[in-house]
Amino acid sequence: MLRVLLLWAVGAGVLFGQSGLGPPLAGYARDSAGCLRPIFGVFGNLVAGEALACGVVAADFSGRVGLARTAEGRFAFDAAGRLLRRLPRAGRESARPPARSALTFEGEDLVLRREDTSELRLRVEGEVSAIERMNQDWFLVHQPSRRLVVRAAEDQLEVCVLPEPAR
């Protein structure tokens, strides 16, 4: 009987100690309605989670900490999507923390400039209205009719379309 109880206690401890399994977090991004959502999955197979906040006009996520701006002000959030703190009101600058690399749109090309002064280019069709960092080397490119996820690989930029979340 003691063995059974001990075995049950060890089994229960192992079960309660599990962190929970789920899809990998690819980053955070704004949807077309301005709601900030976690993006789960792997590159090329992504899905948006439940909205953390709506009315977000700019967002940026470094992989550990994110910043978002709404009409009411700015706030910081962690990798689990929890509010860390509200930040003092600032001007109209983006919600962008210091970055190691920057993705810009020049002519018809997305251009990634890295800290080591190297750059990668990718031609995209259509107008680009905004570019936001959704993780360390992942970017969200807002276009009028779609949102693109751009990943910086070692020697190239890779792109996939981010599906719109179900409303």
Structure-token pair, residue 94: 């983006």
Residue 154 lies in a domain: yes
Residue 3 lies in a domain: no
93 Cβ neighbours under 8 A, 6+ residues apart = none
Residue 38 lies in a domain: yes
Q: Structure pTM?
A: 0.76
DSSP, collapsed to helix, strand or coil, labels residue 5 as: helix
Mean pLDDT for 109-125 is: 90
CB-CB contact of 63 with 38 (8 Å): no
Range in 37-41, 54-58, 60-64, 100-104 with the lowest mean pLDDT: 100-104
pLDDT of residue 141: 95
The helix (run of H) or strand (run of E) holding residue 24 is none
Computed over every residue of the chain, the mean pLDDT equals 83
Quote the number of domains for the chain.
1
Model confidence at 38: pLDDT above 90: yes
Residue 1 lies in a domain: no
Mean pLDDT for 54-66 is: 92
Residue 147 lies in a domain: yes
Sign of CA pseudo-dihedral 145, 147, 153, 158: negative
Residue 36 lies in a domain: yes
The boundaries of the domain holding residue 156 are 25-161
